[in-house]
């Protein structure tokens, strides 16, 4: 059941990304907006990956609990 739960959330993420693509296909401005959103998400993810220990100290959270 736990695998089902994880698989469903994974599929939901996939559909959400498709939805973003659909939104991007509506208008060139929407495409740029989605692109900017994706770039922002990628930058945030990369920075979090690189600065995880620094951020965890700053936010006073334990990496092991994440």
Partner 1 sequence: MQLKLFVLSASSVVLWLTPLVALDKTLDIHKALQGVSLGAAIACAVTAGNIAREQAEQNDIEEIKTRAITADVVDEIATTAYISQQQRQQEAEQILATDERIDEQEVELNSIKESLELLLNQTNSDSSSLAVVNLSTRQREQIELILQCHAKGISGKNKILKEVWGVSAGSSQAYRNAKAEYEYLMPFIKEEEGG
Q: Where on the chain is the footprint of partner 1 (CB under 8 A)?
A: 1-2, 4-5, 7-9, 11-12, 14-16, 18-19, 22-23, 25-26
CA distance 55 to 48: 7
Give least dist CB 17 to partner 1, A.
Answer: 10
Name the minimum Å distance from CB 31 to partner 1: 14
Identify which of residues 15 and 50 has a Cβ nearer to partner 1 in the complex. Answer: 15
DSSP H helices in 25-60 = 28-50, 52-59
**If you ran DSSP here, which 8-state letter would residue 64 be given?**
G
Q: Report the alpha-carbon distance of residue 49 to residue 45 in Å, rounded.
A: 6
Minimum distance of partner 1 from residue 7's CB (angstroms): 8
């Amino acid at each position: 059941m736990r695998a089902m739960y994880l698989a469903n959330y994974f599929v939901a993420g996939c559909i959400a990304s498709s939805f973003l693509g659909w939104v991007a296909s509506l208008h060139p401005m929407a495409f740029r907006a989605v692109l900017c959103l994706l770039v922002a998400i990628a930058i945030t993810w990369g920075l979090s990956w690189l600065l995880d220990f620094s951020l965890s100290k700053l936010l006073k959270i334990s990496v092991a609990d994440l």
